[in-house]
Amino acid sequence: MEIIKNAREMQSISLKLRAEGKTIAIVPTMGFLHEGHLSLTDKARELADIVITSLFVNPKQFAPNEDFESYPRDFEHDKNMLEARNVDYLFAPDISSMYPIGFSTSIHISKITEVFEGASRPTHFDGVALVVLKLFEITRSDYAIFGQKDYQQTLVIKRLIEDLNLPVSMIVCPIYREPNGLAMSSRNRYLSDEEKDKAGTIFLALEAAKKAIAKGERKRKMINSIVLSIIRTVQDIKVDYINTSRAGNLETPDEFFPGEEIVILVAVYIGRTRLIDNSIIKIPSHI
């Protein structure tokens, strides 16, 4: 595995690889890798000749009151994990390589960014869209591999690709979970063992809603209330938002139609740690 720290150098390598007829897949990460991330690199290996994993804690997607400075980092740990997975290139730029002095470009995607995560973190998706576009341009990737856990982010990036006619195919892989159902996340390291046990309630709540939908529940507020009632059984969990939407555009009708694909979105705090999760479900056509 080759480690590249300069954006221009990574771009030059990528252009050379493409000229040789190689296909390229990018797995964008902020590091402190876990098995969920590695499942994305495995998917990238299935699809492309060359796998690039980026490791960059992007300051543009953190608000001033968020955890940019304390976000978990362990370069040696990440490097060793990626080498064991036969990744070809680790692109690990410093901030000055991505955002040099004088950098003044921004990106804004409307509508899809204004609810849920966007309402809680108003500048977040502008930063995500900017860094992802830069990664696509630097690596000239044919495929981009993302995880479902950051569901709204995947919709934002799909919109970015479609609106700007970017020549990249986006692949979204299923959520990778701990044994108790907790969605794997770099921020899970902030949780104590007791808090991790409590956080498993999020998955139980999503599964309960899924069962209710399978039995015929279609009303959005009822689905939300099922999730909320189970999460509230754990006193230490503070809810940021719980809502159910159409999976493709995050619209929130009062009732869903048979055959529609929906997504239940959850964001909660356990102590100071903010966790997100989701479940994609299809409303049964016949009960």
Phi/psi of residue 277, nearest 5 degrees: -160, 170
Beta-sheet strand order (sheet of 273-282): 237-246, 261-270, 273-282
Q: Identify whether 37 is a catalytic site residue.
A: yes
Taken in order 52, 55, 56, 57, the sign of the CA dihedral is positive
* Catalytic option among 37, 77, 124, 286: 37
Active site positions, annotated:
37
